[in-house]
Chains A and B, each alone.
Chain A
Amino acid sequence: MSAGVWRPPKLIVNPWARYGLLFLVVVYLVCSLTPGLLPMVSLNIDWTRAGQGLPRAADMFARMFPPDFSRWELLYKGVRESVQMALAASVFGMLLSIPLGLIAARNLVPLPVYLVGRALLGISRTFHEVIIAIFFVKIFGFGPLAGVLTLVVASMSFIGKMLAEDIENMPPGQLEAIKATGASFPKMLLYAVQPQMLPRYLGVSIYRLDANIRHSTVVGIVGAGGVGQVLAASFSRYDYDFSLAILLTIVALVFVGEFFSNWVREKLR
């Protein structure tokens, strides 16, 4: 570098790599956004249709206002169902996450059991709730049961993963000390693992309750009950003023849920 000239250091030091990356980004944008440029790779975007988006959005917003709360009974029923789904799913998810978390902790169980636990966690976390929901709808039919089961699976794997990681991060000495008193495995869980894990476990569970309220709105869209089902129906009937009422209720509900979960977690600390 010549004297007297100073430039701030760049994130990517090699200029070739830096400009190469920029070039690639441009190429990517052009290839993906130009319809029919490359078969398979280019997105099939109808730009003329998309161009109408703004006026359409304006039209939609015009029809959304004022939000229509006149069918509040339907709305209330949906919200209640969502909250009940979230509550039930959280409680059962909490319970089921304990065995799952224990078998997925390497310092508690032998390798084959651990691998089974990790595989279960991996599979249930990879698939989106909606995919799981649609399977439960196929097995149990439309309605809240499918929704509850979906949320149970999601909660179980979420809390279970946290639990497993927390147990693995435990100082090994405490387990060793309880083992050295001649305690059996269940008693070791009771005296070394449970007291150390409990606060975090409760914290994560409460967080999950809040997340379940959020997710309960979406599983309804594939027919698994709750306020989401009401929302999807209102959209398909172009009842946009009712849709906005539902959306506002969901935002308020999520807000209250988040507030509650923060409050409880603050108290647990």
Chain B
Amino acid sequence: MTREEHARKYPEVWKRFTPRETLVRYAWFIGIIFVAAWSLKRLEIPWFYFLDAHEQAADLVTRMVPPYWEFFADITGPLIETIHIATLGTAITVFVALPIAFISARNTTPNAATWLIGRFILVTSRSVNTVVWGLIFVAIFGPGPMAGIWSIAARSIGFVGKLIAESIEEIDRGTTEAIEATGASRLQVLLIGVIPQVLPVIYGTIVYRWDINIRESTVLGFVGAGGIGIMLYSSINQFAWHEVSVMLIAVFGIVLISELVSATVRKRIT
């Protein structure tokens, strides 16, 4: 069969996309590039800063090395405080997030109004960053770990509550129906039918959030809410970079350890 005969029999042209699809694809590309360009332009970023950025960075590194190891003794207290803030904040979360999760799940909420309230609390809690919560609680409790603990709790309630509410909505209807059929009260249904089913999720979520909170509590000090962040902030402002490097190593250490602990615990629970 010659080439021509062959072509007559089978098409030689095949396009992955129709012209319309191609157009839409290119429109997306151009749109994204446009958005990025617009954002950068309106931000009026002084690009000349980039010219000596590598020198600045190199300078920073040389100032940070060698770390001032003796400083480690001074930061042990703040490090422990950091862990306390995360742990106690998470502990408060447990008690507050559970009831909110129950009223935020469609299948356990008493009525539409409570559901709306629950959802509103969850959204507000999650929208405001831990550090922003820190600003608010420092204004309330004054600087110190107390503000930090409440900031951690305020942010975690939304996170933990949302995940637990979602898992409550996914539980097996049959079990709760069977318990309702025995004539049990709403609270009994909750205790016997719902909680046992979501217990692993509750534990898992809380441990997971604790590990995130360790990370978060390292920076709460920047707004005065306790922990290692206070010293880190002041060392950075005093350009004491050899102290900063010690603290960064310490932060790296505790975050890594907490991640390990949390992963191990979660593996054993579920």
**A, B: real partners:** yes
Residues of chain A having any CB pair with chain B under 8 Å: 11, 28-29, 32-33, 40-41, 43-46, 49-50, 53, 56-57, 60, 80-81, 83-85, 87-88, 91-92, 123, 126-128, 130-131, 134-135, 138-141, 143-145, 148, 214-215, 217-218, 221-222, 225, 228, 231-232, 235, 238, 240, 247, 250-251, 254-255
Assuming A91-B36, A214-B129, is B146 touching A45 (CB within 8 A)? yes
Of A57, A127, A128, A214, the contact of B127 (CB 8 Å cutoff): A214
* Residues of the A chain whose Cβ atoms lie less than 8 Å from the Cβ of B32: 91
- Find out whether the CB atom of A84 lies under 8 angstroms from the CB atom of B42: yes
How many angstroms from the CA of A85 to the CA of B43 in the assembled complex? 8
* Residues of the A chain whose Cβ atoms lie less than 8 Å from the Cβ of B132: 217-218, 221, 228, 231, 247, 250
The 13 sampled A-B contact pairs (Cβ below 8 Å) are: A43-B81, A43-B145, A45-B146, A50-B141, A53-B141, A60-B140, A81-B43, A87-B36, A128-B215, A145-B49, A221-B135, A232-B135, A250-B128
Indicate whether B189 reaches chain A with its CB closer than 8 angstroms.
no
7 cross-chain pairs, A with B, having the tightest CB-CB distances, nearest first:
A88-B39, A84-B39, A254-B127, A130-B219, A91-B36, A218-B129, A251-B127
| Per-residue contact bits, chain B 123-159, to A (CB 8 Å; 1 contact, 0 not) | 1101111111001100111101110000000000000
Q: Which of A134, A225, A228 has the most CB of B within 10 A?
A: A134
* Residues of the B chain whose Cβ atoms lie less than 8 Å from the Cβ of A225: 43
Interface of A is mostly: helix
| Per-residue contact bits, chain B 78-98, to A (CB 8 Å; 1 contact, 0 not) | 001100100110000000000
Question: Which B residues, 224 to 270, have Cβ-Cβ distances below 8 Å to chain A?
Answer: 226, 232-233, 236, 248, 251-252, 255-256
- Find out whether the CB atom of B215 lies under 8 angstroms from the CB atom of A126: yes
* Residues of the A chain whose Cβ atoms lie less than 8 Å from the Cβ of B87: 28, 32
Indicate whether B60 reaches chain A with its CB closer than 8 angstroms.
yes
- Find out whether the CB atom of B252 lies under 8 angstroms from the CB atom of A126: yes
Range for the number of chain B residues in contact with chain A: 35 or more
Indicate whether B40 reaches chain A with its CB closer than 8 angstroms.
yes
- Find out whether the CB atom of A87 lies under 8 angstroms from the CB atom of B39: yes
* Residues of the A chain whose Cβ atoms lie less than 8 Å from the Cβ of B36: 87-88, 91-92
* Residues of the B chain whose Cβ atoms lie less than 8 Å from the Cβ of A45: 144-146
* Residues of the A chain whose Cβ atoms lie less than 8 Å from the Cβ of B80: 40-41
- Find out whether the CB atom of A217 lies under 8 angstroms from the CB atom of B129: yes
- Find out whether the CB atom of A130 lies under 8 angstroms from the CB atom of B53: no
- Find out whether the CB atom of A148 lies under 8 angstroms from the CB atom of B128: no
Minimum C-beta distance from A159 to chain B (A):
15
Closest B residue to A84 by CB, please name it: B39
Indicate whether B1 reaches chain A with its CB closer than 8 angstroms.
no
Indicate whether B35 reaches chain A with its CB closer than 8 angstroms.
yes
* Residues of the B chain whose Cβ atoms lie less than 8 Å from the Cβ of A140: 49, 53, 56
- Find out whether the CB atom of A145 lies under 8 angstroms from the CB atom of B45: yes
